[in-house]
Amino acid sequence: MSVLGRNVNVMDADGVILGTGSPARAGTVHEGALLAARQRRVVEVRDADTLHGVQPGVNLPLRSGGHVIGVVGVTGDPDEVRVLGDLIRVTAELMVDQATAAESQQWRLRERGELVAQAATGAIPPRAVADWAAPLGVDVEARRVAVVVVPDGPPESVEEEAGSLRALARDLAGVRGVLVGRVAPRELVAYAPAGSGSGLPAAVSELLEAHPEVRYAAGPAFGGPTAFARGYQAARATLTVASAMGAGGRRHHFDDEPLAVLVSALAGDWRGDLLAEPWQRLAAADRNGELTETFRAYVRHQASTTATAAALHVHRNTVRYRLGRIGEITGLDMDRLVDVVWLHLGAAVTR
């Protein structure tokens, strides 16, 4: 109105005035608009006495999706405001169509998020995943890498933490081909297209790195109806194993400790209990953590006492002495590869 210098009315499909330059008329029925909506045509009013309480002007029906959803009217001589009315009508219809498209996109994102969360946790059986996915344009056969994201450490506030995860989920969902779902109040899972390598796409990694308040772990790539559940389980196990084995940093990948992730499913099983026994004995006897730290450094440096000593800033003989103590406590020989692997994997099944 400030641009046109004319009064503009906006009415719904029943002719009720929703917006107007004459506040006293808001909420009343505009007879010219009601006629335009019902007859689906432009109604021009030249004589103010033709319709009750209607000023001269033009009233144009607004259409969206093939339906009349409202009417826009411009007050004035129809010959003078006809072009202005048509311009406003076109602009209004574009605005409605854009809003509808945005709402449809938001709906699709919400539905995809629900699909991801339900399929990841097994709430949707694999045989039904394709039926859910097809209407949402999701190809269940595509190979994807799952990444589980959780807050890194205790939150300063629940509200702040929730806002951070929502922002990250929104950012990830904006990356082409990425599906995001919230599987728990403090946990997101995202599925990114699998490239030629085993890592995450650069755009996803950059977003995750831009959020220092979270930790995340990625699993191997999977495809097919079971991919959502398997991908989530693998990424979740990777994160759990990283914590159990004292892995530092915020980002973890299945390829970092593939054997440990694979055997972690044995936790609670008799085989897992046997595997965990040596590590549990070591952890119980190692009150200051010196021996477990030495052993982990020993594994990281390919069982080299020289490299381990350099990493820990101690003498090589100190490393040899500590490894001997580890052997005494666990009953395993640190010079024997199979025993080193046994003790290393035992940490993965210790809860």
Which tens digits make up the pLDDT trace of 296-342? 999 999 999 999 999 999 999 999 999 999 999 999 999 999 999 99
What integer pLDDT is reported at residue 280 of this predicted model? 95
Give bridge partners of residue 35 from the DSSP assignment: none
| Cα 192 to Cα 105: distance, rounded to the nearest angstrom | 19
What is the value of pTM for the model shown?
0.69
What integer pLDDT is reported at residue 244 of this predicted model? 87
pLDDT classification of 59: cutoffs 50, 70, 90: very high
pLDDT classification of 67: cutoffs 50, 70, 90: very high
What does the pLDDT average to over 14-36? 92
Residues of each domain in the chain carrying CATH 3.30.450: 8-103
CATH 3.50.50.60 fits 126-254, yes or no: no
CATH 2.60.120.330 fits 264-349, yes or no: no
Q: Which of 347, 257, 217 is nearest to 293 (CA)?
A: 347
DSSP 240: H
Residues of each domain in the chain carrying CATH 1.10.10.2840: 264-349
Q: Is pLDDT of 74 > 70?
A: yes
CATH class of residue range 8-103: alpha beta
Residues of each domain in the chain carrying CATH 3.30.70.270: 126-254
Q: Write down the residue that tokens 């995809």 correspond to.
A: 112
Q: Is pLDDT of 188 > 70?
A: yes
CB 43 within 8 A of CB 34: no
Buried residues in 279-295 as b, exposed as e (16+ CB within 10 A): bebbbeebeeeebbebb
Cα-based distances in Å from 154 to 76, 157, 186, 241, 346: 64, 9, 11, 19, 27
Q: Which of 302, 204, 298 is nearest to 253 (CA)?
A: 204
